[in-house]
Structure 1
Amino acid sequence: MGYELIAIDLDDTLLDKRKSITPKNKSMIQKALKQGVKVVLCSGRTHNAVIDYAKELDIKGNDQYMITNGGALVETMDQKILTQHTLSNEFYRRFVQFVKQNQLHYNVVDLQAKTYTSPEEWFDKYTIAQAYENNGGLYIREPDQLPSDFEITKAIINGNEAELDAVSPLVHATFDKDYFVVRTGEGFLEVFPRDVNKGRALKELAQSLNIELSKTIAIGDRDNDIPMIKIAGLGIAMENAQPEVKQVADTITTDNNHDGVGNAIEKYLIK
């Protein structure tokens, strides 16, 4: 099988525990690029939080792509948007009302990678980390202080693992009917438009490039990677992946601290 595209999750997949790209991961990705394979970084992060890693890998230009905001945006390295799916201002207001009623910490992200949250006595460390990572600024605003047509790419409930474990059933019960709710990493329980996920984004990108899904690879480690791992021609789970991810994957590579991505590319892509 001649694979033409590989979609790679970032955190705990491409990146090791130091948030770095190992030398083997880098060299194998560059070899794949030289063979003409599309290497697509696919993350819940925003463009601003992905682009430096893309530059490090020499993934650049309008003929290279990234999937950001958990699949809400498919875009080029130069930020030309191919597809986008957003959440309405109506949802945003409902979401803020929900988190306030349940005394939760939150943030939302707009199309420009700006992070918004409500005024609080103190801000959750994960909210601060999100804004820092997005590199678009942290804005302290209530929904009624923003335009009536204000839209967001995702809404995030923040908290430690125990806090999110406790509130997850309520969040799913409240939003699952009309939205896609998923844990994307430590401290982040995220809400997206109903049909938005990395799998749909991979399908949209493959169609736009006239690449058959059977000729795609997807590799990841968490719940939000499951849709793309299931839809890709070859779905690969990291050794450090959650059990649910390993169950749906076609194969398992080494963990993120031991060149899991590089080893998978070497085995399935490099000629």
Structure 2
Amino acid sequence: MTGRPAVRWIVTDLDGTLVGRDLRIPAANVAALRRFADAGGEVVIATGRTEESALPYHRELGLATPAILYNGARVVDLATGDVLYRRCLASASWAKLTLLLDDLPEGVHVVAFSDGRGHVRDEGAALRDYAGRDGIALARVASWGELPSDGITKVMLVCADAALMDPAERAVAATVPGVTLVRSEATYLEVLPEGATKGAALRELAAARGVPLAEIAAIGDNPNDIDMIRVAGTGVAVGDGHPDVRAAADLVVAACADGAVADLVGRLLP
């Protein structure tokens, strides 16, 4: 095949998009992305996961591109560990949040990320499941004051039950100014720096690399992907993704388990 594809970048979410419920990349997606790369395209991962969590998938695909992590709060060169773009919670926002964290409803567990690592004050099945699913280690701290007030990348509220999401979000929204709240999964509420989204990070990365947004296709399945989908020239929704994502997209492809990303590549390449 000769010539570069009209879409130069495919920017893909991981969970529920590129990666299935078994936490593996379907073989069809791997083969399709290799075909896209052979045609001259590049693949960028955009995820809520951390460096540690995203790295195995980045390596499996043989990528050399930076990754958008923490739902847009960081862009990292995973080959070197260099942080290319970052946002942190404002110190005042973190201070107000720490006053609230220990008073959240029972069953809402907290993970605060700083310097590429997750920190917790308690333990429980929900946190163990979260850490196991993402393949990360969680460090125990005696108090939130041990963490740098100006170095908090994001705070994850892991709910033992989806019914806890609404009261947790209301509590944070009413108490903590200057943050972005994102529901990345049915039981995950993320407290991010103000303005931190996958779309904002994609704009920064594309500008730095000289890639026009019109030449980017972005694919996702959850509401935290909508901003990224709208920023890209071609916004793509997974077929079994959230209805709001499908409504925002220019194109709806196959379900995750049926090779959503492979379907997208098949539509982009002759």
The TM-score with structure 2 as length reference comes to 0.90
Q: Quick check: 1:68 aligned with 2:69?
A: yes
* Residue 118 of structure 2: aligned partner: 115
The 8 Å contact of residues 96 and 175 in structure 2, kept in 1 or not, is answered as no
* Residue 187 of structure 1: aligned partner: 187
User: Structure 1 segments of 4 or more deviating over 4 A?
Assistant: none
Q: Quick check: 1:42 aligned with 2:43?
A: no
For 1:80, which of 79, 82, 93 is the aligned residue? Answer: 82
Question: How do 1:146-157 and structure 2 match up within 5 A?
Answer: 146-147=147-148, 149=149, 151-157=151-157
Q: Amino acid of the residue matched to residue 187 of structure 2?
A: G
Going from structure 1 to structure 2, the CA distance change for 1:134 and 1:196 (only over 3 Å counts) comes to: farther
* Residue 142 of structure 1: aligned partner: 143
* Residue 169 of structure 2: aligned partner: 168
Q: What's the Cα RMSD here?
A: 1.9
- Cα deviation for residue 116 of structure 1 reads 1.2
The 8 Å contact of residues 92 and 143 in structure 1, kept in 2 or not, is answered as no
* Residue 99 of structure 2: aligned partner: 97
- Structure 2 SS opposite 1:211: coil
- Deviation per residue, 1:149-175 (Å, 9 max, x gap): 551110111212111134333333444
Q: 1:19 & 1:111 partners in 2: Cα distance?
A: 25
Going from structure 1 to structure 2, the CA distance change for 1:174 and 1:247 (only over 3 Å counts) comes to: farther
The 8 Å contact of residues 66 and 76 in structure 2, kept in 1 or not, is answered as yes
Going from structure 1 to structure 2, the CA distance change for 1:95 and 1:134 (only over 3 Å counts) comes to: farther
- Structure 2 SS opposite 1:44: coil
Q: 2:16 & 2:256 partners in 1: Cα distance?
A: 6
Q: 2:214 & 2:200 partners in 1: Cα distance?
A: 15
- Deviation per residue, 1:87-107 (Å, 9 max, x gap): 144433321221222334211
Which deviates further from its counterpart, 8-17 or 97-106? Answer: 97-106
- Structure 1 SS opposite 2:88: coil
Structure 2 gap ranges (5+): none
- Cα deviation for residue 128 of structure 1 reads 2.7
- Structure 1 SS opposite 2:20: coil
Q: Quick check: 1:26 aligned with 2:27?
A: no
Give the % identical residues. 26
Q: 2:34 & 2:66 partners in 1: Cα distance?
A: 15
The 8 Å contact of residues 45 and 134 in structure 1, kept in 2 or not, is answered as no
- Deviation per residue, 1:185-243 (Å, 9 max, x gap): 13210011111000001111110111110111110011110100011000001111111
* Residue 4 of structure 1: aligned partner: 8
* Residue 204 of structure 2: aligned partner: 204
Q: Amino acid of the residue matched to residue 162 of structure 2?
A: E
Q: 1:55 & 1:219 partners in 2: Cα distance?
A: 20
* Residue 251 of structure 2: aligned partner: 251
- Cα deviation for residue 3 of structure 1 reads 0.8
